[in-house]
Amino acid sequence: MVTEFKRPKTLTAEVTQHIRQQIINGDIHLGAAISERTIAAELNVSKTPVREALAQLSNEGLVTIKPQSGVRVFTLSAREVREICVFRKALETAAIAIAMQNDPAALAQALQAVVDKMGAALEAGDQRRYLMLDNDFHQVFFDFCDNSYLTNSYVRYAGKIAALRTHLSIKPRHTSLSFQEHCQIVETIRQGQLEPLLALLDQHLGRTHETYEIGVEDIAAADAITD
């Protein structure tokens, strides 16, 4: 019998996850400057793993690195918001359609388990946990589609999508509407209705674009806009 051992995370991986989670949670705001020295001091590490972490996060689209200008958390123009919405729709629509064909009962059960936790987080007023579970909900589509190409494409930008979701959560009624749609998605899967499901998912993801209209030059400047 062969025993599998999980390799411990490297220091760079730990630092990467720390910074990634701060951006996703909104602890570091969109467009904010990031100091290698500050993070290194905060985590009590050298600047090398911080620099390597920021390079990885740049690859994920979470930060931008400019010579002589430093590092900043990503920000999105109106055009980029449209592009990421199209990207999400394409991947998530394909993933959930395949997952429905593979095992709709198991898919619905897994999504319901997440929805139950989301409801509990809402009741407890735990917005941060709710948003983490929102990420988990959409990840389930890929867990059940059994297609590594779709999954890897999504995972590469999952952090950026999650950070955008956190940003949208400040909008009035966005979270409550989102939760209602999650519940409807699960029920539609249970009923085995693919076309209504895809229409519902399109509506669910489309609200991101609608929240930030074409006239918004920079998403970081849109915080003051309310529904």
Say if domain 78-222 classifies as CATH 1.20.120.530. Answer: yes
Question: What pLDDT was estimated at residue 8?
Answer: 57
Q: Are 169 and 131 in contact (CB under 8 A)?
A: yes
Question: What pLDDT was estimated at residue 221?
Answer: 58
Say if domain 11-73 classifies as CATH 3.40.1110.10. Answer: no
Question: What pLDDT was estimated at residue 214?
Answer: 42
pLDDT tens, residue by residue, 195-210: 999 999 998 888 766 6
- The Cα 31–Cα 34 span in angstroms is 9
> Where are the domain boundaries for CATH 1.20.120.530 in the chain?
78-222
pLDDT tens, residue by residue, 85-116: 899 999 999 999 999 999 999 999 999 999 99
pLDDT in tens, the chain (227 residues): 444 445 557 899 999 999 999 999 889 988 899 999 999 999 999 999 999 999 999 999 899 998 888 999 988 777 787 888 899 999 999 999 999 999 999 999 999 999 999 999 999 999 889 999 999 999 999 999 999 999 999 999 898 888 888 877 766 577 888 899 999 999 999 999 999 999 999 988 887 666 655 444 555 555 554 44
Question: What pLDDT was estimated at residue 6?
Answer: 53
> Where are the domain boundaries for CATH 1.10.10.10 in the chain?
11-73
Query: For helices 104-123 and 127-145, what crossing angle results, to 10°?
Result: 170
Residue 33 pairs in a beta bridge with 72
Question: What pLDDT was estimated at residue 212?
Answer: 57
